[in-house]
Structure 1
Amino acid sequence: MKSIFRYNKNHESELIELLKAEPDWSSFTNADALDKFKNALLCSQTYIYKSQDNICGYLRALVDGFGIYVSELYIAPRYRNQGYARELLKRIKQEHQSLDVYLLSDEDLYYEKLGYKRVGSVFEL
């Protein structure tokens, strides 16, 4: 069973352990940044994707009156290429239908492949 949930403190340890296994995510999980990151997860609009009761990815976004800014989008390697990232993006857009969604990322080729249009240095959903 696959489900998307709003992030809460109960998801913290499983998500952090998932990210610690990824060297590219050490800027969020190292000792100096970890407490700030945990707080950011709670203070932002963060969604968890679960499959078979395991967290397989997440999306964290900043929302203001001008738009939604997706700061992080992560899917664990074994769950990639199954549409989970696309479903997380769809969910944040559904929650805020009247706002534009912007993707702040260095994964340009991925977002181009999904058909999102570049707006300056970001992509718009």
Structure 2
Amino acid sequence: MNIRLMEERDQDSMIELWLRGSEQAHHFIPMEYWSSKQSEMRNVYLPMSESYVLEIDGHIRGFISIVGSYLAALFIDPEYQSQGYGRKLLDHIKSRQERLELKVYKANEQAVQFYSRHGFKVQQEMLDPDTRQPEYLMEWTKSK
């Protein structure tokens, strides 16, 4: 297992992983929504973020993206979930940050529980203007 900074050649694998992960984790949102966002992922979101990939045997099995202190994405290949890889990516970012915030859909209970276990606290509940789904704003602050 290796965690490294994303390279441009990683984008196709990351977008494929993001799409599969979004379909699995966000089953309450039509798949067409996620499919329609692939271009934005490639041309806007990935280029503006600092992203790290998790490689296993030369294949990307997860990634994490931040923009400043905002945790924009954390995706693990569904076949590799619940094996500690999400925690490893999160710890990699936490070691470089004093504070992180993120938004997570309320209906994505597995993710809400994951972030709660790793020290994130719900700060606010709101509605995602794109999907009209309730989401939480969560925050983590490094202990002094």
TM-score normalized with structure 2 length: 0.69
Q: 2:48 aligns with which of 21, 43, 47?
A: 43
Q: Counterpart of 1:116?
A: 120
1:1-125 correspondence runs (5 A): 2-22=1-21, 23=23, 24=26, 26=31, 27-28=33-34, 30=35, 32-39=36-43, 40-63=45-68, 68-96=69-97, 99-106=98-105, 107-120=111-124, 121-125=137-141
**Which amino acid counterpart does residue 19 of structure 1 have in structure 2?**
W
Q: Deviations over 1:67-110 (max 9, x none)?
A: x11011111111111111111111112233xx311232223222
- How many residue pairs were aligned? 116
Q: Deviations over 1:34-82 (max 9, x none)?
A: 222113112211111111111111111110xxxx110111111111111
| Whole-angstrom CA distance in 2 between matches of 1:16 and 1:62 | 17
Secondary structure in 1 aligned to 2:95? helix
**Which amino acid counterpart does residue 38 of structure 2 have in structure 1?**
L
| Whole-angstrom CA distance in 2 between matches of 1:14 and 1:111 | 24
Gaps of 5+ in 2: 106-110, 125-136
Secondary structure in 1 aligned to 2:104? coil
**Which amino acid counterpart does residue 101 of structure 2 have in structure 1?**
Y
Identity of aligned residues (%): 23
| Whole-angstrom CA distance in 1 between matches of 2:47 and 2:104 | 20
Contact residue 17 and residue 75 of structure 2 kept, 8 A: no
Bigger mean CA offset, 112-121 vs 48-57: 112-121
Secondary structure in 1 aligned to 2:92? helix
Shift of 1:123: 3.0
Contact residue 71 and residue 105 of structure 1 kept, 8 A: no
| Whole-angstrom CA distance in 2 between matches of 1:18 and 1:117 | 27
Gaps of 5+ in 1: none
| Whole-angstrom CA distance in 2 between matches of 1:21 and 1:111 | 20
RMSD of aligned alpha carbons: 2.1
Shift of 1:19: 3.2
Contact residue 49 and residue 58 of structure 1 kept, 8 A: yes
